[in-house]
């Protein structure tokens, strides 16, 4: 096992990783920007070092600074969390070159799965159904021809994309050129890669993701699925496990996900994402080669600590359980708590936390890095926490989450707890048949 790990992230996920390290007897090293000198992960880690100015490119995305610090502090491994460098194959390769273990899959796997078009080809070769579409497009004339074959409506998507960016919906041929140009420009700006591809737009669908763990000894297990269909502008807001899908579909998705991990040569914790049409058909969407924001709901229903297993696998340990031993129990829901005002077009909110009261009770969990007196800086993502509950049934979990949201008090900034309550109280969410266009129909602040 490692004796010292550098945590190359910030916020609640850095806190989550540091806590896992403490429980495993591993020394943790935190990095932070000048804007995060008072952040919780800085004080919780055994050692903490400033690596640059507030802008992510000058700190949390500064690969050379992070590698240099890892060497200077004798860290054997780096945990990237999610976001920032977590899916950067060049960073993973750099770790390998300098003899530092990257806690995640091999660089080549990240590169292949991060290229959405290459990932589609890999899954097709493995016999996993993919959404009708194209490979990477070379020019707009080729794109037009393929678009006519695929049929409208369709999506233009960034090949190197993620997080809902670089995606444009095209309803007709007349709008194709404008959306193609916009998607390519946005992809170039967001990811440094302007390549795009096409996918048939499927609607209505559920967005289902399947959690897998794979070790270096040929063992791959599936830890069930999560329904991530409550989305605003392709950004997830509420996730739950298990999903409301037929048992037979759940089994086929699990089998396909294990096949996908094997085909990719996967190692560590990963997520295979699908679109499910409600009629028994599902299609591969993408594979996330990192820990997901919503991993706690899987932990709650399976009792498996995904962060600890990421670390153990990276250290070369085999999985300590088989597929037969994975038996999800009950129901879990996660709500993302964002510092934003839903009544003002979800405008981000920054400032000092004047008062904080954290919900309590059995099987209620708040993953966060905020505390009373902390000032939220304006440089990073608006998510400030994740509220997670677990109960025997879905109905009970919904009631528990509503109670927890009502108990949550954060004064000094604006946040989205009331909007989350509105979603949970809707008939469509209560029925569990909601799809990815649910919030468009809900209206209100969304």
Tally DSSP H helices, then E strands, for the chain: 15, 22
- Closest by CA to 229, choosing from 428, 397, 12, is 428
121: helix, coil or strand? helix
Give the strand order in the sheet containing 154-158.
167-170, 154-158, 196-200
**In this predicted model, what pLDDT tens digit does every residue of 3-54 receive, in sequence order?**
999 999 999 999 999 999 999 999 999 999 999 999 999 999 999 999 999 9
pLDDT value of position 189: 85
| Of 97, 96, 93, 75, nearest in space to 8 by CA | 75
Say if 118 falls within a structural domain.
Answer: no
How confident is the model over 391-426, as pLDDT tens digits? Answer: 999 999 999 999 999 999 999 999 999 999 999 999
**Rounded average pLDDT over 111-115:** 92
CATH code, 33: 3.40.50.20
Q: Please check whether residue 109 lies inside any domain of the structure.
A: no
Using 50, 70 and 90 to split pLDDT, how confident is the model at 446?
very low
Helix (H) or strand (E) holding 102: strand 101-102
Looking at the structure, tell me whether residues 366 and 297 fall in a common domain.
Answer: yes
Confidence (pLDDT) at 163: 64
Instruction: Check whether 204 has a pLDDT greater than 80.
Output: yes
Domain with 183 in it: what CATH number? Answer: 3.30.1490.20
Structural domain range at position 299: 206-442
| Statement to judge: residues 306 and 420 lie in one domain | yes
Sign of CA dihedral 310, 316, 318, 320: negative
Q: How far apart are CA 254 and CA 264, in angstroms?
A: 15
For the chain, what is the domain count? 3
> H-type helices in 45-139, by residue range?
63-72, 89-97, 107-114, 116-125
Residue 257 neighbours by CB under 8 Å, 6+ apart: 210, 212, 222, 272
pTM of the model: 0.93
Q: Are residues 211 and 194 in the same domain?
A: no
| Domain C-terminal end among 200, 217, 247 | 200
- Where are the extended beta strands (E) located within 123-180? 154-158, 167-170
Are 374 and 228 part of one and the same domain?
A: yes
Q: How many CA atoms lie within 13 A of 176 on its CB side?
A: 20
Question: Does 165 score more than 80 pLDDT?
Answer: no
Residue-level pLDDT at 154 = 96
The answer, yes or no, to whether residue 145 has pLDDT greater than 60, is: yes
Note whether 235 and 288 are same-domain residues. Answer: yes
pLDDT reading at 444 higher than 60: no
Sign for the pseudo-dihedral over CA of 95, 100, 105, 109: positive
231 and 341 inside one domain: yes
CB under 8 Å to 364, separation ≥6 — which residues? 387, 388, 389, 400, 404
Those residues with Cβ within 8 angstroms of residue 98's Cβ, 6 or more apart along the chain or in another chain? 67, 70, 71
**Average pLDDT, whole number, for the chain?**
95
- Domain boundary (103, 119, 148) is at 103
Q: Summarize pLDDT for 53-80 with one digit per residue, the tens.
A: 999 999 999 999 999 999 999 999 999 9
233 and 381 share a domain? yes
In the prediction, which pLDDT does 162 show? Answer: 67
Q: What is the pLDDT of residues 263-301, one digit of tens each?
A: 999 999 999 999 999 999 999 999 999 999 999 999 999
Alpha helices in 233-332 (DSSP H): 247-264, 295-302, 306-314
Number of residues written out for the chain: 446
Residues 54 and 172 in one domain: no
**What is the helix (H) or strand (E) element at residue 423, kind and residue range?**
helix 417-424
Same domain, residue pair 244 and 393: yes
Whole-number pLDDT of residue 443: 72
Quick one: 39 and 188 in the same domain? no
- What percent of the chain is predicted at pLDDT more than 90? 90
Residues 210 and 240 in one domain: yes
What are the residue numbers of the active site? 290
**Is pLDDT at 93 greater than 80 in this prediction?**
yes
Asked if residue 184 and residue 151 are part of one domain, the reply reads yes
Q: Which of residues 176, 200, 224 is at a domain's end?
A: 200
Residue 108 lies in a domain: no
Share of the chain above pLDDT 70, in %: 98
């Amino acid at each position: 096992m490692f004796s010292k790990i550098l945590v190359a992230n910030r916020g609640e996920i850095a806190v989550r990783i540091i806590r896992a390290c403490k429980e495993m007897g591993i020394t943790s090293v935190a990095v932070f920007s000048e804007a995060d000198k008072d952040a919780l992960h800085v004080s919780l880690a055994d050692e903490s070092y400033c690596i640059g100015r507030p802008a992510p490119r000058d700190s949390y995305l500064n690969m050379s600074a992070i590698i240099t610090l890892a060497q200077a502090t004798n860290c054997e491994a780096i945990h990237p969390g999610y976001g920032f460098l977590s899916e950067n194959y060049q960073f993973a390769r750099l770790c390998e070159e300098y003899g530092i273990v990257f806690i995640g899959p091999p660089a080549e796997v990240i590169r292949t799965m991060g290229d959405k078009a290459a990932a589609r080809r890999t899954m097709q070769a493995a016999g996993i159904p993919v959404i009708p579409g194209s490979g990477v497009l070379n020019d707009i004339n080729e794109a037009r021809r393929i678009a006519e074959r695929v049929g409208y409506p369709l999506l233009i998507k960034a090949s190197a994309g993620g997080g809902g960016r670089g995606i444009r919906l095209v309803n007709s041929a007349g709008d194709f050129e404008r959306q193609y140009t916009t998607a390519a420009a946005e992809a170039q700006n967001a990811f440094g890669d302007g390549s795009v591809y096409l996918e048939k737009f499927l609607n209505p669908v559920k967005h289902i993701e399947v959690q897998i763990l794979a070790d270096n000894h040929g063992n791959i297990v599936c830890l069930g699925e999560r329904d991530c269909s409550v989305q605003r502008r392709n950004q997830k807001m509420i996730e739950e496990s298990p999903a409301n899908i037929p048992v037979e579909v759940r089994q086929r998705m699990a089998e396909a996900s294990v096949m996908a991990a094997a085909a990719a040569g996967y190692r560590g914790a990963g997520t295979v994402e699908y679109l499910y049409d409600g009629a028994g058909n599902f299609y591969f969407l993408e594979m996330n080669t990192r820990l997901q924001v919503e991993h706690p709901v899987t932990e709650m229903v399976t009792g498996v600590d995904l962060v600890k297993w990421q670390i153990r696998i990276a250290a070369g340990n085999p999985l300590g359980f088989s597929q037969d031993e994975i038996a999800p129990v009950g129901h879990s829901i996660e709500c993302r708590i964002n510092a934003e005002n839903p009544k003002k077009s979800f405008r981000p909110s920054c400032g000092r936390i004047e008062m904080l009261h954290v919900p309590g009770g059995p099987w209620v969990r708040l993953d966060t890095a905020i505390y009373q007196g902390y000032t939220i800086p304006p440089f990073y993502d608006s998510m400030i926490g994740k509220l997670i509950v677990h109960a025997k049934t879905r109905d009970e979990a919904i009631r528990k989450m509503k109670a927890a949201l009502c108990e949550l008090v954060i004064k000094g900034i604006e946040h989205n707890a009331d909007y989350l309550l509105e979603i949970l109280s809707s008939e469509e969410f209560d029925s569990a048949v909601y799809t990815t266009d649910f919030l468009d129909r809900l209206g209100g602040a969304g």
